[in-house]
Amino acid sequence: MPRKNFRLHIAFLGLALVAAVPRTAPAQDSLQVAGQEQVHIVQVGETLWELARLYMGDPFLWPEIYRINTMVVEDPHWIFPGEELRLVPADETVVAVAPPEGEVPETEQGLERPVEPVVVAPPPPPPPPPVQQDAPTVFVERQSAAARAIRVGLTSSYRAVRRGDFYSAGFLTEGDDLPWADVRGNVEPGSAGGPFGTAPAMLHGRIGVRAPSGATYHVGDTLLIAVLPRDVPGWGRVVLPTGLARVTYAAGRDIEAEIVSQFSRISSGQVAMPVEPFRSTGSARPQPVQEGLSAQIVALRDLHPLPNQQNVIFIDRGRQDGVIPGDIFEVIRPSNGMGDRTPDRVATIQIVHVRERSSSGMVLQIVRTGVRDGAPVRLIAKMPS
């Protein structure tokens, strides 16, 4: 469907919903509250970056708003006046691992975590004053008039790194021979040995997995499903996760597993291995540092001609260098050596997965071109040790 027609279709649906659902705030207000659901009506000049700053207390959490509004927002660069964005905390995927001491334990299923209640704000103030008729994108770090006018007491459970980002980011194998199992295709419950379907697996569907020789899987184990698209010289294979599956039946090397989280297409020919435990950082936030650790981009996970927000890049620093999930780096364009240009900030990335010699960083914001292999990066904010 052409973009214009698609947007008209979405707009029509939005108007239908507006007509069907009673409002508790005037139509011109930018925030409308109905029970436990909060809806923000986009004003001219607003960005996801500053909406996250306003409602969630941290601009780096803008992907949380984007993820729950993908039916309205086609491209996170662009949000348009009149669009209605839901403002509710995103669900979190939880893997069945023992939590660190002092942290709230996981539920018995091991795959869901109770969502903290949302505090409903008092009625919003009068409509914001007019703003300039230019519409900056998420690249622009500027607070709109609407953001300055509204102060709403919504709360969100802050996590420096989300479980979904940790498991979906991928990583470099660093030349390690990992114990990959073979994904054989769709199966009916109770038939781990086949026959196998060739259609892509769906969320909560079952897949058959052939474990590697000598490996032992147990019911309840969680597996990372992935593809290995290419090699990076000196760094091993790129691991691109497609989902998570929980073992429901095991008979020797023949495994049946239920898809419990899906990042992209899952099908036969992919690989699987037990997940690495996710250790939550709790509510700790990265603190600014001066003259932080220097590194370089090794490779982009996906071969995009123009990297974008939420793309993943790999850098050449890891656990042995003290890098941990939640650290913030910025990609820089170095000076030209002639003394007439200082280093420019190109992009901001957050580390979401760490291995011994390398780390996976999610792009949070891009301000200019220059995110490419070999580009220098530097640490600008460090998680507490």
> What is the mean predicted confidence (pLDDT) over 192-221?
88
With pLDDT > 70 as the criterion, what percentage of the chain qualifies? 70
Half-sphere exposure in the Cβ direction for 365 (13 Å, CA): 20
- 100 pLDDT exceeds 60? no
- 9 pLDDT exceeds 50? no
The pLDDT of residue 116 is: 45
Tokens describing residue 122: 């008092």
Q: Which of 101-105, 130-134, 182-186, 227-231 shows the lowest per-residue confidence on average (mean pLDDT)?
A: 130-134
The pLDDT of residue 37 is: 58
Longest dimension (CA), the chain: 69
> What is the mean predicted confidence (pLDDT) over 149-174?
74
> What is the mean predicted confidence (pLDDT) over 367-377?
91
The pLDDT of residue 158 is: 72
Q: Where are the alpha helices (DSSP H) in the chain?
A: 3-20, 48-56, 62-67, 145-149, 163-168
Strand partners, 110: none
Q: Give the neighbor-by-neighbor strand order of the sheet with 31-34.
A: 31-34, 37-41, 84-86
The pLDDT of residue 215 is: 87
CA distance 199 to 330: 41
The pLDDT of residue 340 is: 53
The pLDDT of residue 39 is: 84
- 308 pLDDT exceeds 70? yes
pTM over 0.75: no
Q: Where are the alpha helices (DSSP H) in 210-332?
A: none
Residue type, 12: F
DSSP 237-261: EEEEEEEEEEEEEEETTEEEEEEEE
Write the burial class of residue 177 (CB in 10 Å: 0-12 exposed, 13-18 middle, 19+ buried). Answer: exposed
Q: Which of 113-117, 259-263, 335-339 has the highest mean pLDDT?
A: 259-263
Instruction: Check residues 185 and 103 and name the one with the higher pLDDT.
Output: 185
> What is the mean predicted confidence (pLDDT) over 201-210?
92
Q: Which of 25-29, 62-66, 134-138, 358-362 shows the lowest per-residue confidence on average (mean pLDDT)?
A: 25-29
The pLDDT of residue 69 is: 84
- 194 pLDDT exceeds 70? yes
Give the residue among 318, 375, 303 at the shortest CA–CA distance from 345.
Answer: 375
> What is the mean predicted confidence (pLDDT) over 124-138?
43
CA distance 205 to 246: 11
Instruction: Check residues 12 and 134 and name the one with the higher pLDDT.
Output: 134
* Residue 342 near residue 351 (C-beta atoms within 8 A): no
367: DSSP letter: S
- Integer CA distances (angstroms), 288 to 141, 156, 378, 379, in order: 18, 22, 12, 9
Instruction: Check residues 69 and 337 and name the one with the higher pLDDT.
Output: 69
> What is the mean predicted confidence (pLDDT) over 50-77?
81
* Residue 11 near residue 74 (C-beta atoms within 8 A): no
Supply the mean pLDDT for the chain: 76
Q: Where are the alpha helices (DSSP H) in 193-314?
A: none
- Integer CA distances (angstroms), 234 to 54, 298, 329, in order: 43, 10, 23
- Would you place residue 157 in the very low, low, confident or very high pLDDT band (cuts 50, 70, 90)? low
CB atoms within 10 A of CB 109: 12
The pLDDT of residue 24 is: 38
- 16 pLDDT exceeds 70? no
The pLDDT of residue 2 is: 47
Instruction: Check residues 287 and 11 and name the one with the higher pLDDT.
Output: 287
CB atoms within 10 A of CB 144: 23
Q: Could you give phi then psi for residue 345, rounded to 5 degrees?
A: -80, 130
Q: Which of 117-121, 122-126, 274-278 has the highest mean pLDDT?
A: 274-278
- 143 pLDDT exceeds 50? no
Q: Which of 86-95, 113-122, 168-177, 276-285 has the highest mean pLDDT?
A: 168-177
The pLDDT of residue 354 is: 97
